[in-house]
Amino acid sequence: MSDDLLARLRAGDRRALARALTLVENRAAEGEALEAALWHTCGHAYLVGITGPPGAGKSTLIAALAEFLRSQGATVAVLAVDPTSPRSGGALLGDRIRMLEQSIDEGLFIRSVASRGRARGLAPALMGMALLLDAFGFDVIFIETVGAGQDDSAIAEMVDITLLVLVPGLGDSVQLLKAGVLEIAQGYVVNKTDTPGAPALARELRAAQRLATPHAPERPVFLTTATTGEGIAELGRFLLDNRQALLATDLKQRRQQRLLAEAQYRATEAFAKALQHALTELPTEFLARSPREIAAFLTQRAATFLQGADAPEPDTTSS
Ligand SMILES: Nc1nc2c(ncn2[C@@H]2O[C@H](COP(=O)(O)OP(=O)(O)OP(=O)(O)O)[C@@H](O)[C@H]2O)c(=O)[nH]1
Ligand SMILES: [Mg+2]
């Protein structure tokens, strides 16, 4: 890793930040080294996951929230995974956020992240990028993901809070309930309240919660119109209060939690790779055997494959 890049990052150089983010996004060795070097300085930023169906207004909502948070003195970074909705088409981050992107505000940083053509998981790339932004000093980091994928639930475990954005009229809530997506969020946003059906959707969300988790404290439901800013201040204040409460808790514990969630993801990734490798070694005669025997063979081979990978030794010198 270039010490120069690290030094420039530490000095608050935004061009160095952009370059470092690319290295981490590609999960290049240099990026991994940067993460390792900066790990101990992170944990101060408040990480907000924003998820929901395509075109729900996630990007527009983030842009509006970013403006509000800036007005309250908080610095904001945004990581947005490329859009899914054909409607926003070429507009990678939505119109409003692109407008913000062109601002020269030093307290705001926006970056889009490609999800396509990726050999390795999106979640560690995003978390690594968030770590860099955290170490760089941003107060609040938004991570916009497309929703309902495996990566989304992984990311939900690594961020401080996840908001699920829904819009009236899609009949989403029932489907989301089935898919278990409601559970990954700690708060719900009913966006596009300028279109019919918002109060009904909010009611439905409250009812669905009571049904799914009758004893858990009720998660808040916010009503917003991201395009006009309606309801944004209330949601923004909720986030700031939640952040304040979190910052009062143990930093080390929070950092460890994030660390473990990401490590677990990476380990799962390694296991999956080992299993893929084992499959290529399955003798054809095994196809006549029982699934249990095939599984035993695969497990054995995968374990051997994993043993070949170098595991770091416990380091007794670092805390
Ligand atoms: N009427 C109305 N339109 C909105 C609102 N919020 C966003 N939109 C519009 O909805 C469209 C999609 O908004 P985006 O912010 O790009 O939605 P997204 O969820 O980020 O979309 P993807 O990233 O593609 O999944 C845009 O045309 C927005 O202008 C709202 O509150 N009311
Ligand atoms: Mg978007």
Ligand 2 centroid vs 278 CA: distance in angstroms?
A: 38
What is the identity of the amino acid at 244? Q
Ligand 2 centroid vs 205 CA: distance in angstroms?
A: 22
pLDDT, tens digit, 9 for 90 and up, residues 33-67: 999 999 888 888 999 999 988 888 999 999 999 99
Residue of 119 and 297 predicted with greater confidence? 297
Nearest CA to ligand 1 atom 22: 83
Asked if residue 85 has its Cβ within 6 Å of ligand 1, the reply is yes
Best substitution site from 222, 227, 230 to test ligand 1's pocket, by max atoms within 8 Å of Cβ? Answer: 227
When pLDDT is cut at 50, 70 and 90, the band that residue 90 belongs to is very low
When pLDDT is cut at 50, 70 and 90, the band that residue 255 belongs to is confident
Whether residue 22 is predicted with pLDDT greater than 70 in this model: the reply is yes
Whether residue 154 is predicted with pLDDT greater than 90 in this model: the reply is no
Main-chain dihedrals φ then ψ at residue 135, nearest 5 degrees: -65, -30
Looking at every residue in the chain, the average pLDDT score rounds to 85
**Percent of the chain at pLDDT above 70?**
83
Q: What is the pLDDT of residue 77?
A: 96
Q: What is the pLDDT of residue 210?
A: 85
The atom number, within ligand 1, closest to the CA of 230 reads 31
Whether residue 316 is predicted with pLDDT greater than 70 in this model: the reply is no
Best substitution site from 50, 51, 59 to test ligand 1's pocket, by max atoms within 8 Å of Cβ? Answer: 59
Q: What is the pLDDT of residue 296?
A: 95
Asked if residue 112 has its Cβ within 6 Å of ligand 1, the reply is no
Asked if residue 84 has its Cβ within 6 Å of ligand 1, the reply is yes
Whether residue 89 is predicted with pLDDT greater than 50 in this model: the reply is no
pLDDT, tens digit, 9 for 90 and up, residues 105-139: 889 999 988 776 665 668 888 999 999 999 999 99
The atom number, within ligand 1, closest to the CA of 165 reads 19
pLDDT, tens digit, 9 for 90 and up, residues 158-183: 899 999 999 998 765 555 555 567 78
Ligand 2 centroid vs 50 CA: distance in angstroms?
A: 10
Whether residue 6 is predicted with pLDDT greater than 90 in this model: the reply is yes
Ligand 1 centroid vs 114 CA: distance in angstroms?
A: 19
Asked if residue 225 has its Cβ within 6 Å of ligand 1, the reply is yes
Tell the residue number behind the tokens 């309902």, with chain if given. 148
Best substitution site from 60, 101, 192 to test ligand 1's pocket, by max atoms within 8 Å of Cβ? Answer: 60
Asked if residue 88 has its Cβ within 6 Å of ligand 1, the reply is yes
When pLDDT is cut at 50, 70 and 90, the band that residue 314 belongs to is low
How many Cα neighbours within 13 Å face the side chain of 232?
A: 22
Average pLDDT over residues 266-289: 92
Closest CA to 295 of 279, 317, 273: 279
The atom number, within ligand 1, closest to the CA of 84 reads 24
The atom number, within ligand 1, closest to the CA of 195 reads 1
Ligand 1 centroid vs 275 CA: distance in angstroms?
A: 40
- The domains found in the chain, sorted by start residue, are 1-40 (no CATH), 42-248 (3.40.50.300), 254-308 (no CATH)
The closest ligand to the CA of 191 turns out to be: 1
Q: What is the pLDDT of residue 171?
A: 63
When pLDDT is cut at 50, 70 and 90, the band that residue 252 belongs to is confident
